[in-house]
Amino acid sequence: MILTLAKLFGAISELNVVFTYYTEWIAEYHQSRTGLMFLQQEIDDFMTALEAQLEQERKAREAQAAEGDWTVVVLHKEGK
């Protein structure tokens, strides 16, 4: 099979288009990703808010139990 110059340039042109598309896709992908520091900050903020909410719910349950002359007993089970 004889490879003509036109076929060679056509193949190179097609590879160039694919390579260009690939590099554009990679650049777009990296721009769409949030940074690791930003993601960690969002996780920390969420966990802080969740812990505050859980603490508030725990205090509300304890206050409700204390209103009815109940004694709140907390069991600290030790592992074997």
pLDDT band at 3 (very low <50, low <70, confident <90, very high): low
d(CA 58, CA 17): 61
How many percent of the chain have pLDDT more than 90? 24
pLDDT band at 53 (very low <50, low <70, confident <90, very high): very high
d(CA 19, CA 25): 10
